[in-house]
């Protein structure tokens, strides 16, 4: 089978900038391929090389086996339709007229429109959900509606290859999903779609494959799961990111943070959590490059699962078991070794008291997350209440906000600890 698109060693220089540097990739028929990468990576430029608008300085692009640089614009427009990034229009054409322009490459010499042309326009408008706008001037519809009008124009063009440059950037969440569902249907019908897409979660959810562009080269290619890794994202976007599986869609889900590790090469933080209280903070600290240890938690606790997912060192006891001497000694050692401790929830369950004793018995700088009011029922009596007030007095107290926790950890590490050696004794 001939691939739908073959890009062979394409180089493009614009002004003084080498935008694409010997880019090669092949896109098979009936695939939805996402182009991802930071601003200025060359995604639009690559799409413009595929649709023949831009002649590469070197290399070649073949669409359904035909070299696009050898085709005239009518022939190229029969192969490739494009929805551009900017659909701003200065002409007050009615929406239907814009969609009819998609038929131009199919209309004969005498400009006669056939019923097939009209049907194609009707169907395209229907599928892109713009039929109700048919008579409105395109200058008077919203940005998102206009984006769908231009999608309809591309659909009316009835090409085997569709290029979409940020097809959902102006769409509300409902139309984002509806548009990408429509694109998926088009692919199921056999069309090949290449979409430059900034929203990495949408890219992972809808695309069969991704190409990650950075500095004029394709840095990663393959399934979304194989392309969207913390390492590739950091290299391309300069952002720390955690990649998890989205609980609803099952696709890769990316949470990116500015690269602001407290001290990304050395910081280690021990996190006291339980019941999932530590989970958002663990993801955020991990993304900030902090090495985490977690505990003591039960082996089946949600925070234990998160700790395993991010490769954190974990101190556990079996479900419902008390913290034994071994776990207590281990957690004390982790706390002493850490650059800072985060207590992720001051709602102290009785089982946490030995861990909090260990925290208060060490010099390690402390951050206390105080997200919820202390629930008296969860506090282990007066012992627990005293622990809570000592923790608050001893540490930096922050709201239950992952960014605030990272900032507080940075501050805690920079601030000499308040000395509080007297361990709590019941």
Ligand X SMILES: Nc1ncnc2c1ncn2[C@@H]1O[C@H](COP(=O)(O)OP(=O)(O)OP(=O)(O)O)[C@@H](O)[C@H]1O
The minimum distance between CB 20 and ligand X, in angstroms, equals 8
Single out the residue of 10, 23, 32, 41 in contact with ligand X (rule: CB under 6 A). 41
Residue 80: partners with Cβ closer than 8 Å, 6 or more residues away: 50, 51, 52, 63, 68, 159, 161, 162, 163
Stretch of 42-50, 241-249, 257-265, 294-302 contacting ligand X, by CB under 6 A: 42-50
> How many residues sit in the footprint of ligand X (CB under 6 A)?
13
44 to 73: interface string for ligand X, x by CB under 6 A: xx----------------------------
Residue window 139-178: x/- pattern of binding to ligand X, with contact defined by CB under 6 A: ----------------------------------------
Instruction: Indicate which single residue of 27, 32, 37, 148 sits in contact with ligand X (rule: CB under 6 A).
Output: 37
119-127: long-range contacts (C-beta < 8 A, 24 or more apart)?
Answer: 120/156, 120/158, 121/96, 121/152, 121/156, 123/155, 123/156, 124/99, 124/152, 124/153, 124/155, 124/156, 125/95, 125/96, 125/99, 125/152, 125/156, 127/152, 127/155, 127/182
List residues bridging with 75 in a β-sheet.
none
Q: Tell me how far, at minimum, the Cβ of 292 lies from ligand X, in Å.
A: 33
Residues 247 to 266: which contact ligand X by CB under 6 A?
A: none
Choice from 9, 14, 75, 393 touching ligand X (CB under 6 A): 14
Instruction: Find the part of the chain contacting ligand X (CB under 6 A) among 14-22, 66-74, 108-116, 409-417.
Output: 14-22
Place of tokens 């949600």: 302
Minimum distance of ligand X from residue 163's CB (angstroms): 12
Among 43, 146, 148, 175, binds ligand X (CB under 6 A): 43
**Minimum distance of ligand X from residue 294's CB (angstroms):** 37
CB of 420 to ligand X, least distance (A): 51
CA dihedral 147, 148, 151, 157 (to 10 degrees): -120
Q: Is 203 in the site for ligand X (CB under 6 A)?
A: no
- What count of other Cβ atoms lies within 10 Å of the Cβ of residue 247? 7
In degrees and rounded to multiples of 5, residue 287 shows phi and psi of -65, -30
CB 47 within 8 A of CB 82: yes
414 in helix, strand or coil?
helix
Nearest distance, CB of residue 156 and ligand X, angstroms:
25
205-to-211, 247, 292 alpha-carbon distances in Å: 14, 12, 30
Which of 4, 5, 36, 42: binder of ligand X (CB under 6 A)? 42
Q: How far is the CB of 31 from ligand X (least distance, A)?
A: 20
Closest CA to 293 of 265, 263, 271: 271
Name the residues that contact ligand X, by CB under 6 A: 14-15, 17, 19, 37, 39-45, 196
């Amino acid at each position: 089978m001939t691939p739908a698109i073959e890009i062979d060693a394409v180089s493009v220089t614009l002004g003084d900038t080498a935008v694409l540097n010997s880019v090669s990739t092949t896109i098979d028929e009936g695939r939805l391929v996402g182009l991802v990468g930071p601003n200025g990576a060359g995604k639009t430029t690559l799409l413009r090389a595929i649709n023949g608008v831009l002649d590469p300085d070197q290399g070649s692009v073949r669409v359904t086996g035909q070299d696009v640089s050898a085709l005239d614009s009518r022939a190229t427009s029969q192969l490739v339709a494009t929805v551009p990034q900017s659909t701003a229009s200065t002409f007050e054409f009615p929406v239907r007229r814009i969609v009819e322009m998609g038929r131009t490459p199919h209309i004969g010499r005498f400009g006669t429109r056939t019923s097939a042309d009209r049907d194609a326009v009707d169907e395209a408008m229907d599928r892109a959900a713009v039929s109700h706008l048919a008579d409105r001037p395109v200058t008077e519809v919203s940005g998102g509606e206009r984006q769908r009008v231009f999608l309809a124009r591309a659909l009316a063009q009835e090409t085997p290859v569709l290029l979409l440059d940020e097809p959902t950037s102006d769409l509300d969440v409902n139309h984002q999903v509806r548009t990408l569902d429509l694109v998926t249907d088009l692919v199921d019908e056999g069309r090949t779609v290449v979409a430059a897409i900034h929203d990495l979660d949408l890219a992972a959810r809808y695309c069969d494959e991704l190409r990650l562009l950075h500095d004029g080269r394709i840095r990663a290619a393959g399934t979304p799961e194989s392309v969207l890794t913390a390492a590739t994202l950091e290299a391309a976007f300069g952002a720390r990111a955690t990649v998890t599986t989205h609980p609803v869609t099952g696709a890769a889900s990316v949470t990116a943070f500015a690269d602001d590790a407290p001290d990304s090469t050395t910081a280690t933080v021990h996190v006291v959590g339980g019941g999932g209280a530590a989970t958002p903070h663990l993801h955020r600290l991990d993304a900030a490059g902090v090495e985490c240890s977690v505990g003591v938690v039960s082996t089946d606790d949600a925070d234990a699962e998160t700790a395993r997912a991010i490769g954190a060192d974990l101190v556990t006891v079996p479900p419902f078991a008390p913290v034994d001497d071994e776990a207590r000694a281990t957690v004390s050692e982790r706390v002493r070794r850490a650059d800072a401790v985060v207590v992720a929830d001051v709602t102290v369950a009785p089982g946490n008291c030995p861990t909090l004793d260990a925290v208060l018995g060490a010099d390690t700088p402390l951050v206390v997350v105080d997200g919820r009011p202390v629930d008296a029922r969860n506090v282990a009596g007066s012992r627990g209440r005293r622990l809570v007030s000592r923790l608050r007095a001893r540490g930096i107290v922050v709201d239950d906000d992952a960014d605030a926790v990272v900032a507080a950890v940075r501050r805690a590490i920079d601030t000499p600890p308040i000395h509080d050696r007297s361990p709590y004794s019941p």
